[in-house]
Structure 1
Amino acid sequence: MKRIFSIALAVGLFLFVNYENQTRFRSNNPTDSASISGSEIITNLPIEVNIDSDHFFVSGIPDSATVRIEGPQAVLFQTVATQNFTVETPDLNELGEGTHQIELQVNGLSSDLTASVSPSRVTLTIEEKRVEQHEIAVEISEDLSLAEGYEIVEPTLSNNLVSLTGAASTMENIDKVIVEIASDETKINEDILLLAPILVLDKDGNPLNVNANPSQVEIHAPVVRTQKEVPIVLREGSGKASGYSYELKLSNSEAESVTVRGEPDAIDELQNFPITVDFDNITESTLVTVPIESLPEGIEEINKESVEVLIDVTNNKDN
């Protein structure tokens, strides 16, 4: 009986040790993890265009592509980490001008991996390339909100010229090249400084597919006061009758101020608007219409052509 028990115990120990060795061997076998497959999706990968860019302009290719990569997990992990592969077009120089459909390629991957790209096929157009210099015009947005009486005068740009590159057929449709002065602020009364994109438009105001260098410019737009309201000041002129005194007043229906427009410096200096009233030897109080015949230097416009003035006359001879 003891002999049978000893034999059974020995067999059990042998099986246990053998199982442990096999388990240790499997856990140390490096080929197990490498044999595990997986997949990864990488988005927003730039597309390299293989063409002589000095002579041809290509349109229709999206800015980026999405790639799905499959293969052993270890190789996949390294590839995703380094991203040392590219999404490219085939050699487009052989196609020549015109519209073509091509397949995008993924190059630089390990032979252990497979890849699919989206979009896989692209319809593109190859045209003769043209480069032109254009002057940049400045336009003011209709939605720009300036404070009352303020205007933008003589805005300046960091660059007045831009180099435009595009397909010859597109370049022929260029109507204007502009930057726009725009702001979300309201009642602006200070200079505007902004970085604005260059807009290349056709005759209908639609943007054209061309490359601009530089693509944006700095704008300095001086905002100055060119209009304001100032009080009317009445001044005594000539023609007083002897023995009479005169007092000048605006009629009850007359506003006590005028609105003037002009050069910014003149507007800043003007504190009131003088109007000279001549008496023409009148001896009775009367209401006269006084024309505004001259403007102060630098003032270009006024919102009145004349004012009504009450001349109050006192006879000093009766005293």
Structure 2
Amino acid sequence: MDKWLKSPWTLRVVALVFAVLLYAYVSAESDVNNRAGEVPITSSDETNTVEAPVSIRIDDSKYVVSGVPEYVSMQLVGPASDVTAAIQQKNYEAYVDLTDLDSGTHTVKLHYENVSDNLQVYMQPASVEVTIQEKASQQFNVNVGYTNEDQMASGFQVDSSSVEPKTVSIVSTQEVIDQIASVRAYVDLTDVKADIDSKEAPVKVYDAQGNELSVNVQPETVEVSVQVSNPSKTVPVEVKTKGKAPDDVSVASLSPDTKEVTIYAPQDTLDGIDSISTEEIDLSKISKNQTVDADLALPDNVRSASEDQVSVDIELDETSETTIENVPITIENLPDGLKAAFSDPQNEEIDVTVSGAQTEIEGLSADDITAVIDAGGLEEGEQTVPIDVTGPQNTELTPSQEEATITLQSAAGNNDDEANTNDETNTDTNTNTETQTQ
């Protein structure tokens, strides 16, 4: 036996056998690769590549599948008439059969159907990796969202909205459902100036980062109704100025050609607006009677006004000066529980020198001037506080004093003092009565 194994002819025969086996294996692999890539075509065959839709065979009431492409490339090879008929009829379809698989990730082959037996079919890809997960569903409330809200018709705003149905059912995997942060139906408000009644809108689902999630929504659309309004308010126009007219003249009047304007804004903004002012007119540039155009200064959140600009008639007059005597000083905004008195009763009134156009200051009296001390935030004790003096428009006011000293004390303490005084008076009265009786 050993002699036979050591024979050179024996080794040559064994080597030849292994060489044949290796050649057969390599040839088989090459043939497989040729079928997966380049398709062998005879001279009489025709080839054409189409995009075939891929269906999924599984119990879709229980499972959700991911990883399956929507289309695959399908190469049809065979007689020209059969290839042409297949392309024209478009009955071909690819599918993956997952009916016998459990939840998890699997690599599965792609199959085809509705293709003539005369044709060879080569698909790319030939297999795909799919993930099967159990299906979950949950009800979610639908909220209304808006796009282009800043492009609504001038002055309009959204008052309220409603959606029908109010909830939708979302079907996906539990992992995806747990990511859902909002469910919205969006309405475009571009140029909207009337209520929107039952407009169909698609339902969109988003995670916490605002990314749209791909889920099954039932129903896919809802009916959205939006109520809009155009809140407005008519207010007077005030003319604002800065600087001073030349020394020898003063402003006698500032008269806008439009006395009132209508403004459009949210109702809570309108509630806090009593007038609209112009941009400041620089009086230092006014040397004669003239008319100037002034833009309106719209407060924050006011969307628009019936007028953007007004014309202001400016009249000048010779500067004059007069002194208004004995203008009473009023103390306002006293803190609760305190009362105030002037440390020097003579300071309860002041004189005010008024400078302005002669026509404006003629006939002025103390009733036309106000002098106010704001006691808000003051504490008990003696305080020196500023006096705020106001008067007719377009005048310059100079008070005889800019501050006053007042004393704040507890109102309850004063009441006690008054009560004690009354008790002492009653006691004295009773004593005198007893003496007279004796």
TM-based fold match above 0.5: yes
Shift in Å at residue 259 of structure 1?
A: 4.5
Q: For residue 189 of structure 1, what is the aligned residue in structure 2?
A: 193
Q: For residue 212 of structure 2, what is the aligned residue in structure 1?
A: 207
Q: What code does the residue aligned with 2:93 have?
A: T
Q: 1:1-319 maps to which residues of 2 (within 5 A)?
A: 36-43=44-51, 45-90=52-97, 92-141=98-147, 144-183=150-189, 185=190, 187-192=191-196, 194-226=199-231, 228-232=232-236, 256-257=260-261, 259=263, 286=368
Shift in Å at residue 47 of structure 1?
A: 1.3
**d(CA) in 1 for partners of 2:369, 2:217:** 66
Higher relative contact order (CA 8 A, sep 6+): 1
Q: Note closer, same or farther for the CA distance 1:286–1:58 as it changes in structure 2 (3 Å cut).
A: same
Q: Note closer, same or farther for the CA distance 1:85–1:261 as it changes in structure 2 (3 Å cut).
A: closer
Q: Contact conserved, 1:250 with 1:310, CA < 8 A, in 2?
A: no
Q: What code does the residue aligned with 2:212 have?
A: P
Unaligned runs of 5+ in 2: 1-42, 238-252, 276-363, 372-389, 394-438
* Deviations 1:60-114, CA, capped at 9 Å, x for gaps: 2222233221111122222223233321002x13221112222211123222101
**d(CA) in 2 for partners of 1:49, 1:287:** 89
Q: Note closer, same or farther for the CA distance 1:39–1:52 as it changes in structure 2 (3 Å cut).
A: same
**d(CA) in 1 for partners of 2:173, 2:207:** 14
Q: Contact conserved, 2:160 with 2:228, CA < 8 A, in 1?
A: no
Unaligned runs of 5+ in 1: 1-34, 234-248, 268-272, 275-281, 290-307, 312-319
Shift in Å at residue 130 of structure 1?
A: 0.9
Q: Note closer, same or farther for the CA distance 1:149–1:217 as it changes in structure 2 (3 Å cut).
A: same
Q: What code does the residue aligned with 1:57 have?
A: V
Q: Contact conserved, 2:157 with 2:266, CA < 8 A, in 1?
A: no
Q: Note closer, same or farther for the CA distance 1:140–1:84 as it changes in structure 2 (3 Å cut).
A: closer
Query: 1:77 is paired with a residue of what secondary structure?
Result: helix
Name the count of aligned residue pairs.
228
**d(CA) in 2 for partners of 1:143, 1:152:** 9
Q: Contact conserved, 1:288 with 1:310, CA < 8 A, in 2?
A: no
Q: Which has the larger radius of gyration?
A: 2
**d(CA) in 2 for partners of 1:250, 1:120:** 87
Shift in Å at residue 133 of structure 1?
A: 1.7
**d(CA) in 2 for partners of 1:37, 1:309:** 105
Q: What code does the residue aligned with 2:235 have?
A: P
Q: What code does the residue aligned with 1:39 have?
A: T
Question: What do you get for the CA RMSD once the two structures are aligned?
Answer: 3.9
Shift in Å at residue 143 of structure 1?
A: 5.8
Q: Note closer, same or farther for the CA distance 1:258–1:182 as it changes in structure 2 (3 Å cut).
A: closer
**d(CA) in 1 for partners of 2:266, 2:370:** 28
Query: 2:208 is paired with a residue of what secondary structure?
Result: coil
Q: Contact conserved, 2:155 with 2:264, CA < 8 A, in 1?
A: no
Q: What code does the residue aligned with 2:50 have?
A: I
**d(CA) in 1 for partners of 2:192, 2:366:** 51
Shift in Å at residue 161 of structure 1?
A: 1.7
Higher helix share: 2
Q: Note closer, same or farther for the CA distance 1:261–1:139 as it changes in structure 2 (3 Å cut).
A: same
Shift in Å at residue 39 of structure 1?
A: 2.0
Q: What code does the residue aligned with 1:153 have?
A: D
Q: What code does the residue aligned with 1:209 have?
A: S
**d(CA) in 2 for partners of 1:261, 1:142:** 17
Shift in Å at residue 310 of structure 1?
A: 5.2
Q: Contact conserved, 2:77 with 2:120, CA < 8 A, in 1?
A: yes
**TM-score, structure 1 normalization:** 0.59
Q: What code does the residue aligned with 2:74 have?
A: V
**TM-score, structure 2 normalization:** 0.44
Q: Percentage identity across aligned positions?
A: 23
Q: For residue 270 of structure 1, what is the aligned residue in structure 2?
A: none
Query: 2:53 is paired with a residue of what secondary structure?
Result: strand
Q: For residue 13 of structure 2, what is the aligned residue in structure 1?
A: none
